[in-house]
Amino acid sequence: MLFDVIEATWPPFATENCDGVTLRDGQGGGKRVSAATAPDNTSEAILDLVIERMGVSMDPLFQIADGQKRLDRLLADRGFDVIDPVSIYLANIQRVAEDGPPPVSAFSTWPPLAMQTEVWEAAGVNASRRAVMARVQGPKRALLARTGNAPSGAAFVAIHEDTAMVHALEISAEYRRNSAGRNLMRCAAQWAASEGATQIATLTLKDNVPANALFTSLGMRPVGQYHYRLKHRE
């Protein structure tokens, strides 16, 4: 379900194995780099130990993969709420790349330019989330979309093995429905194909209707899903 790709292209600051449960230190970079993951057969004793340990410094948070029904139930029984169901999309990279975006409508750089940072900042992709991008060890690029003479969107793409994954795709509000998202995805696919990637993936919240429509229109298909379980400390 591409979780190795997600981890490699959007990595936490540090991880720790606690009796088979992976704890993550995200350094403020969001749920994906901060949530714990656990096998579905994790014992209740270990789960309770991990929850207690996490609760010292944060609201306990778990990422639940599709099919982890037992773990999901155990967390529900302990008062954890479901938040942010996510769909994972995948496609052959040439299908998304096609002939690339129109001239000067999107391009890739590394490190990010000030214009890309401004788009991300306005969308809530703060310095801690951008630090996640900087931690990626493999091939990576920051992407910028332009509409007319103005920056209209930004995204991040990185490659793990033969798969490119797009993260932090954000379009400025005034430029939505103007192909900026499509141009960014085509730019990502074209660059990644030139680096040897054969597949391109991305993910989005299930209730993000525009993003789901965009990825479907590009020929991408949902291949997996996950959600989080969160318990607020009293």
Instruction: Collect all residues with Cβ–Cβ distance below 8 Å to 154 and sequence separation of at least 6.
Output: 112, 115, 116, 119, 120, 125, 142, 143, 144, 145, 168, 169, 170, 184
pLDDT at 177: 83
112: which DSSP letter? P
At the topology level, CATH places domain 89-224 in: Aminopeptidase (3.40.630)
Domain ranges of the chain: 3-87, 89-224
Q: What is the pTM of this model?
A: 0.96
* DSSP assignments along 130-141, one per residue: HHHHHH--SSEE
State pLDDT tens for residues 67-115: 999 999 999 999 999 999 999 999 999 999 988 899 999 999 999 999 9
80 in Cβ contact with 60 (< 8 Å):
yes
List, for the chain, all residue ranges whose pLDDT scores fall below the cut of 50: none
Phi, psi of 69 (to 5 degrees): -70, -35
pLDDT at 1: 66
pLDDT at 233: 81
| Placement of tokens 């931690």 in the chain | 135
Q: How far apart are CA 54 and CA 121, in angstroms?
A: 29
